[in-house]
Amino acid sequence: MTHLYKIFTFFLFLATTSILAQTNSVPTPAKAQSETIVLRGGTAHIGDGKVIENSIIVFENGKITMAADATMVKMDFTDKKVIDITGKEVYPGFVAASTSMGLMEIAAVRATRDEDEIGGLNPNVRSIISYNTDSRVIPTVRSNGILIAQVRPEGGRIAGTSTVVQLDAWNWEDAVYKIDDGIHLSWPHIYSFKGWWANPGGIEKNEKYSEEVTQIKDLFDQAKAYCQSNKHDEKNLKLSSMCGLFDGSQQLFIHVNMIKEIIEAVNFSKKYGVKIIIVGGEDAWMATDILKNNNIPVVIKRTQSLPSRSDEDIDLPFKLPKLLQDAGVLYCITLGDGSDAFWDQRNLPFHAGQAVPNGLTKEQAVTAITFNPAKILNIADKTGTLEVGKDANIIISTGDVLDMRTSNIEYAFIQGRAIDLDNKQKALYRKYMEKYGLKE
């Protein structure tokens, strides 16, 4: 009986939320770009560090066809939709690397989570098929300018395969921007916690560390050998799912923070000739030489975080981007792991902004969430800058988007499509402003 009751209430819940949906809180994916759009007069932040004060950006059929200084351009704007953005800021859409957005709806409710499959080694598990384009969270993130995201599974040693998506789609097949782009590995910890959170037993050397590393190496040895041949009497799904790593079509994202673990992860990658990316990399500032010499980029998680050691520079996480920038290590910024890494992605521009009073120029900070993640995710040919030939993934803000004091996104385009920036939260805002008779 109670079970039936629960199912009933569950459907009741669904019914309630769909009524809410009718209050215009679920934006409809935009139609394909039909007319040429001209953005005139804005300050264009190209994404590669360049700024064009008085710019003309033109895009048609989803692609940028012009990004230039308005004073240098003579052009006929008839038959084109011209949007005057004088005094406003225009940027490439932001790219959020390594997020569980779309796989997780309410962190504490297990039924709404699809990011963590059981079993330690799941390279064959693919995030994209769980990606929920109808998540109520995505529109709230998108309305802050995040247009592209790498959706990745987490948990276990090898959590699975990620896919890069664009954030305005009817279904996951529509959403794909770069399918199965990388495999996500959590490097073993040299130290482990004893006890549990209410009764911690302190930190001890992880006695199984070598064993855990060996397990990874065994898997990679076998996968590399397996991928040499197309013919197998018995197909192994796990091994075959890793072949992209060895032919260069996929990258290996290694989630690792501590310095010694980072170094071991790098040396591991050299042995297998796999292209790796360090995700997390709190200690990456101590390993800039080895990272640079091996062309290994870093996905920084949360500049707005605390130093991991009490003796460290109190602002070290704020300064990490600058330290990597100066050392010539390619990096980008994202939000982090676990239960905050999805909804909190809407603060991505501010995590980039945080690095500005700590050493980066504003344009470098923009690059850290546009061109750099595009490069790291191997999608820089399609997005990441406002350059001719790239997808028209563009946002326009009335003020500096890196600063919450001025960030206010008015328009966003994904592949030239003008997307609806409304979301459930704005709808609730309107609903209650109306209830109280308040004016915005």
CB of 149 to other proteins, least distance (A): 15
Give the list of residues 6+ apart from residue 264 with CB closer than 8 angstroms, or none.
187, 213
Determine contact, residues 325/122, Cβ cutoff 8 Å: no
Look-up of token digits 């009751």: 5
Residue 78 tokens read as: 């008839």
Which of 418, 345, 349, 415 minimizes the C-alpha distance to 382?
415
Out of 80, 189, 238, 292, the only residue in the binding site for other proteins (CB under 8 A) is: 189
Site string for other proteins, 158-187 (x = CB under 8 A): ------------------------------
* 431 vs 424: CA distance, rounded Å: 10
- What ranges make up the beta strands (E) of 187-268? 191-196, 199-205, 251-256
Interface with other proteins (CB under 8 A), residue total 66
Helix, strand, or coil (residue 25): helix
CB of 203 to other proteins, least distance (A): 5
394-397 and 298-301 strand pairing: unpaired
Residue 264 interacts with other proteins (CB under 8 A)?
Answer: no
CB of 206 to other proteins, least distance (A): 11
Out of 15, 308, 361, 381, the only residue in the binding site for other proteins (CB under 8 A) is: 308
Residue 6 interacts with other proteins (CB under 8 A)?
Answer: no
| Amino acid making up residue 360 | L
Residue 103 interacts with other proteins (CB under 8 A)?
Answer: no
199-205 and 251-256 strand pairing: unpaired
Stretch that binds other proteins, among 27-35, 171-179, 199-207, 219-227 (CB under 8 A): 199-207
Residue 203 interacts with other proteins (CB under 8 A)?
Answer: yes
Residue with Cβ nearer other proteins (170 or 193) = 193
Look at the chain and count its residues: 440
Residue 290 interacts with other proteins (CB under 8 A)?
Answer: no
Which of 385, 403, 402 minimizes the C-alpha distance to 394?
385
Stretch that binds other proteins, among 103-111, 217-225, 268-276, 325-333 (CB under 8 A): 103-111
Binding site for other proteins (CB under 8 A): 105-109, 137, 189, 191, 193, 195-200, 202-205, 257-260, 280, 282, 286, 304-311, 313-315, 336-340, 342-343, 346-347, 350, 353-354, 356-357, 402-405, 407-408, 425-426, 428-429, 432-433, 436, 438, 440
